[in-house]
């Protein structure tokens, strides 16, 4: 027959058994006794009094939450769709449990509002070229508000910036025009450099006796006209003077 003392032992054993809890290394256990905060349990095996105490585990690892795409109008009245990701971590487990109902949802909602405020105050060009700077500004605003919640916002990344279709076409045309402008400039610079070289070569040929004539002969040699066509050359006087100079040079050389 089970005595009263044996019953107490069994009840005490069950209370101890069912009151055991394991807190993982990346967690902290916030304990409420009769609804009042009485402590935070560190990782390892711990025990709570069933029916009197309640322990809630808080994850301290870095958590990510998405900011769904927001339709925002920039300072220069361009509608854009932006989505981002918030990285945050619980620094104080009891504050995260006691000061805010759902800290993950609260961070997401506050980041949405901060994103809309910041994007609405800048123009499109800085938005496209200074993503990191804008993300840092949003991060500072969110971190300042969530500090009292026991949270640390480690980073915010802007993922996509969706532009209207007509704006995309305008930007594509602008980029194409810019590429054409650069191509024209590069071609003009190449022609200018080539003209300088040609001017130097012409100067050397002009100052070399018979140089212009030799160049003319080389040009004639490279021409292979169609037999059905007639090519007429208008030779300058310098050409004949050059031929005369070459002939005199060869004559003197043969006499020697």
Choose the weakest-confidence range: 103-107, 151-155, 169-173, 213-217.
213-217
- Shared domain for 149 and 237, answered yes or no, is no
pTM of model > 0.85: no
* CA 158/CA 110 separation, integer angstroms: 15
Percent of the residues in the chain that have a pLDDT greater than 90, as a whole number:
32
Residue whose tokens read 């496209």: 128
Q: For the chain, how many helices (H) and strands (E)?
A: 8, 8
Mean pLDDT within 169-189: 76
- Structural domain count of the chain: 4
pLDDT of residue 170: 67
Last residue in a domain, options 102, 131, 163:
163
219: left (phi over 0), alpha (psi -120 to 50) or beta: alpha
- Segment 100-107 long-range contacts (CB within 8 Å, at least 24 positions apart): 100/149, 103/146, 103/149, 103/150, 103/151, 104/63, 104/65, 106/146, 106/149, 107/65, 107/142, 107/146, 107/151, 107/153
In percent, how much of the chain has pLDDT > 70? 74
Among the listed residues 48, 51, 62, the one whose alpha carbon sits nearest the alpha carbon of residue 17: 48
Query: Do 150 and 230 lie in a common domain?
Result: no
**Mean pLDDT across the chain:** 81
What's the pLDDT score for residue 87?
Answer: 95
CB 75 within 8 A of CB 123: yes
Q: What is the pLDDT of residue 156?
A: 92
Residues 20, 108: one domain? no
Indicate the angle between helix axes 211-222 and 165-207, nearest 10 degrees.
Answer: 120
Q: Which residue has the tokens 């810019």?
A: 178
How far apart are the C-alpha atoms of 159 and 147, rounded to whole Å?
25
pLDDT at site 75: 87
CB atoms within 10 A of CB 1: 3
Confidence of residue 241 (pLDDT cuts 50, 70, 90): low
Q: How confident is the model over 5-46, as pLDDT tens digits?
A: 777 777 777 777 888 889 999 999 999 999 899 999 999 999
State whether 149 and 195 are in the same domain.
Answer: no
Q: Both 157 and 186 in a single domain?
A: no
| 129 in the same domain as 37 | no
Give the range among 66-70, 112-116, 161-165, 240-244 with minimum mean pLDDT. Answer: 240-244
Please identify which residue in the block is written with the tokens 């690892």.
61
Domain encompassing residue 169: 165-207
């Amino acid at each position: 027959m089970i005595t009263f003392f044996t019953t107490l032992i069994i009840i005490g054993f069950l209370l101890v058994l069912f009151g055991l809890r394991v807190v993982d290394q990346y967690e902290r256990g916030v304990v409420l006794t009769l609804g009042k905060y009485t402590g935070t349990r560190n990782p390892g095996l711990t025990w709570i009094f069933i029916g009197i105490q309640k322990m809630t585990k808080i994850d301290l690892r870095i958590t990510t939450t998405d900011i769904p795409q927001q339709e925002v109008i920039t300072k220069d009245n361009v509608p854009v769709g932006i989505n981002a990701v918030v990285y945050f971590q619980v620094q104080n487990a009891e504050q995260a449990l006691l000061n805010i109902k759902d800290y993950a949802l609260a961070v997401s909602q506050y980041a949405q509002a901060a994103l809309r405020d910041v994007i609405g105050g800048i123009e499109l060009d800085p938005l496209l070229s200074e993503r990191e700077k804008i993300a840092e500004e949003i991060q500072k605003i969110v971190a300042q508000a969530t500090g009292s919640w026991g949270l640390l916002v480690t980073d915010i990344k802007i993922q996509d910036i969706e532009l209207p279709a007509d704006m995309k076409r305008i930007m594509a045309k602008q980029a194409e025009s810019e590429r054409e402008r650069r191509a024209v400039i590069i071609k003009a610079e190449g022609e200018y450099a080539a003209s300088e070289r040609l001017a130097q070569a012409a100067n050397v040929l002009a100052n070399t006796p018979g140089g212009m004539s030799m160049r003319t002969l080389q040009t004639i040699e490279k021409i292979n006209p169609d037999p059905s066509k007639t090519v007429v050359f208008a030779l300058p006087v310098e050409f004949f003077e050059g031929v005369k100079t070459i002939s005199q040079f060869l004559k003197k050389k043969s006499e020697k």
